[in-house]
A = this chain, B = another copy of it.
Amino acid sequence: MKFRSFTLSILVLFGISVDNSVSAQEKLVWTEVGNGVWKVSVGKPENYNLLSASGVKPEIAALQKMQKTELVSAKAGIFANIQDGKTYLRFPLQKGEQIYGFGLNFQTIHQRGRILRLHTDHYGNTDNGRTHAPVPFFVSSNGYGIFINSARYLDVYAGSAVRKDSKNPPKIQDRNTDKNWSARPYSDAVEILIPANGVEFYVFSGPGPLEVVRRFNLFNGGGCLPPRWGLGFTQRVERLYNAEQVKNEAQAFADQHFPLDFIGLEPGWQSKSYPCTFEWDNTRFPNPALLVKELGQMGVRLNLWTNPYVSPEASIYPKIAPFTGSHSVWVGAVPDLLKPEARDILFSKFKKDHIDIGISGYKIDEVDGGDSYLWPDVATFPSGISAEQMRQTYGVLMQKYSTELFHQKNSRTYGLIRASNAGGVSFPYVIYNDNYSHQDFITGLINSGFSGVLWTPEVRASKTSEEWLRRMQTVCFSPMAMINAWASATKPWSFPDVADKVKEVALLRMQMMPYWYSEFAKYHFEGTPPFRAMNLETGFFIENKTEKTNSNLEENPYEEAVSKEIKDQYMAGEYLLVAPFFTGQTSRKVVLPKGKWFDFYTGKFAGDGEVITVGSNLGNIPVYVKDGGIIPMMPPLLHAPKAGEKVDLEIRYYGQKNAKYQLYDDDGESYNYEKGEYSWREVTVEKQADGKYFGKISAPAAGKPNTIGKVSWSFMTKDN
C-alpha cells in the first residue's frame, strides 16, 4: 500500500494520468457446496469443465462425516479479475507455507516457486505441467486446497512471480556485492491464468493437508474401488502373441507358482492397429470367447490394449465418421466423445466384441500426447468442444464411458489409462507411461496421491538382476503390480539369481491383499489416497531446503540453487512407510516422522522422528509400520479370492499403542457395494493388565458378504 500512495503522490506531482489496464477485482461468488468445500464463481465460467466432463457426483454424505471446519482463512486474500480475455486468479501464500500437487509430477514434490503450463501430455523428463494428469489442484501445508475447474491449458505461477504491490515484498539485493543474491526473490502468491472469461474454482478446507485431499477426492466422487483381482499380479504379453502363446504364458505362471490375476494383450489382438479396428485378429485369436473362458478356468482374466482412434478399415468407421474430429491420429478418426452417437457406436462395439465375452478391462493408450501424435490444438469437433478442452478431458471421458459398460454388467473393472484429470478419481484406472526412470516412477507415485489419480511404477525390462528386483519390489507396493512385457516378453523369473526374492515379494503382495483392499475402500468411502506423500502425514514436515551446488558462472549463470526435497519414500495405506532401494544403492536414508516406527519384517523398533540409514544387505524393500499398525493378511494365494471365497486372516500388529483398524469386506467383484452390500469389521488391539496384547475382531454383519475364514494374530513387536 506504501507503493500505491507513493505512486499517487508522484502522479499528482507531475500531473500525469496513468492508464489502468487492470480491470477491477471481479466479484467472487462463494457457495458452500459440501462440508468444508466452497465453490467460487468468477465472471462467466464456461459450461464445459473438468467436473462436467467426468459427470461424477460429489459424495456429500461422506463429506458430511468429516470434521466441520470454518471457511479457510485463505479467503481474505484471494483476488480475481478478467484481463486480456483471460481470467486471472491470485491466492496468497504465507512465509514457510509449502504447496503440493498440480498433477502428476515426476521429479518434484514441492511446487512452490515453480511455473507450470497444465497440459495433458506424455511426461517428457521435466515437470513443466505437461503430464498425464495435469490436475489443476494444489494443497497447502497450511491446510487448504484450491481446485480450478477448467478444462483449458492453465498457466500457473506457483509462488514464483513478484508483484510491485506485494505486502510481503522480497528484499532488494545487489548482485555486485551480495554473495547471497538469489535469482528467485520471495513470492507471496500463486497466480493462475485461465484463458476464458470466467471460471469456477473450489476451496477445500482441512484442518490438515490430508483432510484437504480427502475432501477433494470425495467431492470428485470418492476414490475408485478396484475388484480384489485388480490388486493381484498382472503380466502384459508381447504385442503379437496369439491365443496359444497367451495360454502358455498363463500356464508358465502356474507352473512357476507365481501369482497372476490378469493378462494384458497388446495391439496384435486387433485385426489392425494404429489406427484400430477394435476387432479380433482371427488368425491369432480364432476364438476369443473360448480363450477368455479357458483362462478363466486358470484363474486369469484378460485385459485388452487399445487406443480410441478408429481405422478407416474398421467396421464402425462409416457410422462413427460424422461424429469424429477434423483431424486424425495415425490416420484414425477421433471419436467426439461428447456426441452421444460417437459413444454409442464406439462403446457398443467394445461391449459386443469384448465385454460380453468376458474381457475384464482395458489399457487405453495414447489419450495423453505427445503433440506429434494426437490431434492438434487447431482441430475441431462436431460437439463444438475445442481441441484443447478435448485434450484435457479425453482420458477422463474414456474412463467414464468404458467404466459404465462394466457397471451395466455389474462387474468391476480395473484398467490402465494414459491420461486423467480432476473428476477421474472414481474411475478404476491406473496411469502408466513410456518413461522408465525408477526414481521418477516413485516420485510420480508420491504425487499421484495429491491429485486423485493412481499410478503404476510398472516393470518392463532391466539391465541387471538387482534392478529387476528393485523395480519388482516397488511395483508390489503400488496400485497395480504389473510387468509390461509387450516389447521384451520378460517374465518375473527371467533373472534367475533374484527369482526367489522376486517371487517372495509378489507373494507378499498377495498376502497383503486384505490390507490393500481395505485401504482402497477407504479411498472410496473416505477419500484417503492409498499411496501418498509423506507430506500428508502428521509429524512429517521438512523445510524445503535449497543449496547452491554449482558456483561455475558459465554453467550456472544465475547461481541457481538446487532443492533437496525428500522424494523417494511414501506412505502405503494407513500404516506403512515404504522406502525403496534403487539400483546401486547399498544403503539409503529414511526420514521417519514423529512417533514410533517399526520394521515391517521383524517388528523391531526402527526410530522416532529421525533420519535413519538402512542397508540393502537383506534384499527386502524397506517398509516401516506406524506405532499401533494393524496389517490384515491372507495366505500367499496365486489368485485373488473369488466372490464368496473365504480366506483365512493373519492379523499383524506392530508397536505399543492401543489400536483400531477398519477392515473392509464385500464380494470383491460386483458393484453391489453401492447398494450397501458391504461391511466394515473393527479390529482392535489393546494392552492387557498383564502387559500382553490382545486382539479382537467384530462379528460379521448379518446379511452382508463375509469372506473371512479363520483369524490368527501375530504380535510382531517382541520387545514391547
Contact surface of A with B, Cβ cutoff 8 Å? 3, 6-7, 10-11, 14, 16, 18-22, 83-85, 88, 90, 113, 115, 155, 157, 160-165, 169-177, 181, 183-185, 191-193, 195, 239-240, 267-268, 270, 272-275, 281, 311-313, 318-319, 321-328, 330-331, 333, 339, 341, 371-373, 375-388, 434, 436, 460-461, 486-488, 552-554, 557-558
Contacts and interface: CB of A to CB of B under 8 A. Distances in A.
Contacts of A327: 161-164
Contacts of A311: 172
Main secondary structure on A side of the interface with B = loop
A378 B326 contact: no
A273 B19 contact: no
26 contacts: A3-B321, A6-B321, A10-B319, A16-B341, A19-B382, A19-B384, A21-B383, A21-B385, A83-B378, A83-B386, A84-B388, A157-B377, A160-B372, A162-B327, A162-B328, A164-B328, A173-B274, A175-B273, A175-B274, A176-B273, A176-B281, A183-B274, A185-B328, A191-B378, A460-B554, A461-B554
A115 to B, nearest CB: 5
A21 B84 contact: no
Given A115-B371, A157-B378, A175-B272, 19 more contacts: A6-B318, A7-B321, A21-B380, A21-B382, A84-B386, A160-B371, A160-B376, A161-B379, A163-B328, A164-B321, A170-B331, A171-B331, A175-B267, A176-B239, A176-B240, A176-B268, A176-B273, A177-B272, A487-B554
Contacts of A377: 155, 157, 193
A112 to B, nearest CB: 13
A488 B554 contact: yes
Contact of A382 (B18, B174, B192): B18
A22 B326 contact: yes
A264 to B, nearest CB: 15
Contact of A554 (B322, B339, B436): B436
A205 B274 CA distance: 39
Contacts of A192: 378
Contacts of A382: 18-21
B19 A383 contact: yes
A22 to B, nearest CB: 5
Contacts of A376: 115, 155, 157, 160-161, 191
Contact of A331 (B169, B275, B323, B333): B169
Nearest to A268: B176
B384 A163 contact: no
Q: Which 4 A-B pairs have the closest CB atoms?
A: A487-B553, A21-B384, A175-B274, A161-B376
A176 B3 contact: no
A22 B175 contact: no
A373 B161 CA distance: 8
Given A183-B373, A373-B183, A18 B323 contact: yes
Q: Which of A164, A371, A378, A553 has the most CB of B within 10 A?
A: A378
Nearest to A166: B328
Q: Which of A176, A312, A386 has the most CB of B within 10 A?
A: A176
Contact of A173 (B85, B184, B328, B331): B331
Contacts of A312: 172
Contact of A10 (B195, B270, B322, B383): B322
Contacts of A319: 10, 14
A20 B322 CA distance: 11
B10 A378 contact: no
Given A83-B386, A115-B372, A326-B164, A380 B275 contact: no
Contacts of A172: 275, 311-313, 331
Contacts of A22: 326, 380
Nearest to A195: B195
Contacts of A88: 378
Contacts of A461: 554
A163 B557 contact: no
Contact of A161 (B11, B323, B375, B384): B375
A160 B18 CA distance: 45
B331 A185 contact: yes
Nearest to A185: B331
Nearest to A155: B377
A217 to B, nearest CB: 29
Contacts of A379: 161
Contacts of A171: 331
A346 B662 CA distance: 69
Contacts of A193: 377-378
Contact of A176 (B181, B272, B371): B272
Contacts of A388: 84
Nearest to A386: B84
A174 B372 contact: no
A162 B183 CA distance: 43
A554 B176 CA distance: 49
Given A3-B321, A84-B388, A330 B185 contact: yes
Given A378-B88, A557-B487, A321 B10 contact: yes
Q: Which of A11, A272, A281, A333 has the most CB of B within 10 A?
A: A272
A163 B378 CA distance: 10
Nearest to A21: B384
A184 B386 CA distance: 23
A11 B175 CA distance: 68
Contacts of A387: 84
B174 A273 contact: yes
B162 A331 contact: yes
Contact of A434 (B157, B164, B326, B557): B557
Nearest to A152: B84
A197 B553 CA distance: 44
Contacts of A270: 176
A192 to B, nearest CB: 8
Nearest to A486: B553
Contact of A322 (B7, B162, B181, B275): B7
Contacts of A436: 554
